[in-house]
Amino acid sequence: MATTPAYSDNNSAAGWLNSRNHPQRDLLEKELQQRFFPALTAPCTICHFMLTLNAGSRAAEFALMQQRALAAGVQLHEGDTDVNLQLGDMMLRWERHSEFSTYSFIVPRQQAHFVDPASCLPSPDWFDLVPGQLFRVVQLLVLKEQHSHNQPGALFAAEHCISSLVANQQAQIWTDFRKHPEGGGRMVLLDKGLSPSALARLVQQLFDLGNYRKLSLLGWPLTRQALSQLHTLEQQLSDITQRIEQQQGSDEKMLQEISQMAAQTEHLIANNSARLEASAAYYQLTLDRLKALRETPLDGLMSLQDFSERRLTPAFRTAQSVLSRQRSLSNRLGRSTELLRTRINLQLERQNSVLLMSMEKRARQQLQLQTAVERLSTVAICYYAVQLLDKALISLQPLWPAMPLQSLQAFSLPLVVLVISGLWYLLRKPGRRS
């Protein structure tokens, strides 16, 4: 009767489990637990900084954050992508992403107005050693409904003010996506009864929404530049295609022009495709964050969804059209190149055919000349052979006086001609068979 194996202690069980671990199990579980904003309680003020970094400055940033985390009593390990540090009366929330990092300084008190973002730092020189370029700064005032301003919208530009209910109408936001005199963006969040964890998720979604929205526009300058270059290249290709159709100009020269245009197109694609595709990914992330907000629009005010559809979607579609036109141009250049190469190959085949015919004609003429020379050579050989035989007979006459010299001389000519003709025929016969 089978029995269930029993372990003598917990260490045996742990050892058995660890021996069967998938190599990525712990890493993936750790990844699932990261990027959770710390629980928040209104009122509070958050100053959010976003810095873009290149691959070379990643290691320097992480080493610096390890030192600062250790000074705050927290161990930051390799592979960690976020950390919460208590810095006096404020908390720092640091997150590392693929091409940017964010620093959110959380102060658990209410402010009546927006201040200089530098005053939200633990010290004025706190960012001096941090690598990267400042890409976005926004201050968020998180207010309780009973302690809120009478008119939070007065803190924003009236013609650009955006306001809506979010989180199933449990909160209301105000912003205008503009850079204000204090050097950053502004946002007000009115808490209408969210739990601390729900409020933290909402704040993180709002920050992510703004970050991804701005990153999705990072490819816009490249898009405008590419549109001008694409128009020029497409016009050049159209002109060359018309010349191909009308058979104007040299095919070799047109092939050279198309090859140069193909190189320019591939260079253009290499320069901007990665950035434009990244912009498309950030645009999709922006839409995901918008959906997660569960937004309810307010009458007479622009919502986040309205703003995105009005400003962000056209830029995204323009970038997508550039990617599509680049691929289309590359394919058209490839087809035009193949067409010209086919025409050039046909011309070469015709030239080769004419050359072969000319060579065959010359070879036939040389053969005829060779045959004529051989026949003349036969006549000459016959003549010299007859002369040699005649001299031989004359030289033999003193030795044989009774020799019929004239008869032998008369008979020598047809004999020599017959022998040499036979030899010539035998030598020519293998050539005829081949």
Q: pLDDT means per 10 residues in the chain (434 residues)?
A: 50 62 67 74 93 91 94 89 91 93 91 85 93 95 74 80 93 91 92 93 94 92 91 90 82 86 91 91 93 92 88 89 92 88 83 87 86 75 74 73 69 72 67 50
Angle among Cα 48, 54, 55 to the nearest 5 degrees reads: 125
Instruction: Write out the residue range of the structural domain in which residue 282 sits.
Output: 220-354
Tell me if 282 is assigned to some domain: yes
Inter-residue contact 230 to 329 (CB < 8 Å): yes
Same domain, 258 and 168: no
* pLDDT attached to residue 30: 59
Q: Same domain for 45 and 174?
A: yes
The pLDDT, as a whole number, for residue 405 is 67
359 assigned to some structural domain: no
Query: In which residue are the tokens 């090859």 written?
Result: 259
- Residues contacting 172, CB < 8 A, separation 6+: 163, 164, 165, 166, 189, 190, 192
Q: Is residue 201 part of a domain?
A: no
Q: Are residues 54 and 189 in the same domain?
A: yes
Shared domain for 40 and 184, answered yes or no, is yes
Q: With beta carbons less than 8 A apart as the criterion, state whether 404 and 412 touch.
A: no
Do 249 and 186 reside in the same domain of the chain?
A: no
Q: pLDDT value at position 341?
A: 84
Q: For residue 122, which amino acid is it?
A: P
Q: Residues 189, 310: one domain? A: no
The answer as to whether 8 is a domain residue is: no
Question: CB count, 10 Å around CB of 36?
Answer: 14
Amino acid at 107: V
Q: Quick check: is 299 in a domain? A: yes
Residue 160 phi/psi, 5-degree rounding, is -120, 10
pLDDT for res 165:
95
DSSP string, 219-267: THHHHHHHHHHHHHHHHHHHHHHHHHHTT-S-HHHHHHHHHHHHHHHHH
Same domain, 163 and 235: no
- Are residue 189 and residue 224 in the same domain, yes or no? no
pLDDT at 418: 74
Q: Does one domain contain both 123 and 136?
A: yes
Structure confidence at residue 7 (pLDDT): 47
Where is the domain boundary, 354, 384, 412?
Answer: 354
* End position of a domain, from candidates 180, 215, 250: 215
What pLDDT score was predicted for residue 16?
A: 61
- Decide: 350 and 385 in contact? Cβ < 8 Å: no
What pLDDT score does 409 carry? 66
Residues 188 and 238 in one domain: no
pLDDT digits (tens, 9 = 90+) for 101-145: 999 999 988 777 888 898 889 999 999 999 999 999 999 999 987
User: Which strand ranges, in their side-by-side order, compose the sheet holding 44-52?
Assistant: 82-87, 90-96, 100-107, 44-52, 133-144, 185-191, 171-175, 162-166, 296-297
Residue owning tokens 């269930």 = 4
Q: What pLDDT was estimated at residue 1?
A: 44
Kindly state whether residues 179 and 250 are assigned to the same domain: no
pLDDT, position 13: 55
Q: Is there a domain that residue 92 lies in? A: yes
Domain edge (last residue) among 354, 384, 417: 354
Q: Which residue has the tokens 């009122």?
A: 43
How far is the C-alpha of 244 from the C-alpha of 253, rounded, in Å?
11
* Assigned token pair, 341: 């190469």
* φ and ψ of 92, to 5 deg: -105, 130
Residue 188 lies in a domain: yes
Q: Provide the domain count of the chain.
A: 2
Are 177 and 235 found together in one domain? no
Q: Is residue 396 assigned to a domain? A: no
**90: closest CA among 35, 152, 48, 125?**
48
Q: Is 303 exposed, middle or buried (0-12, 13-18, 19+ CB in 10 A)?
A: buried
Query: Which stretch of DSSP H or E encloses residue 203?
Result: helix 196-216
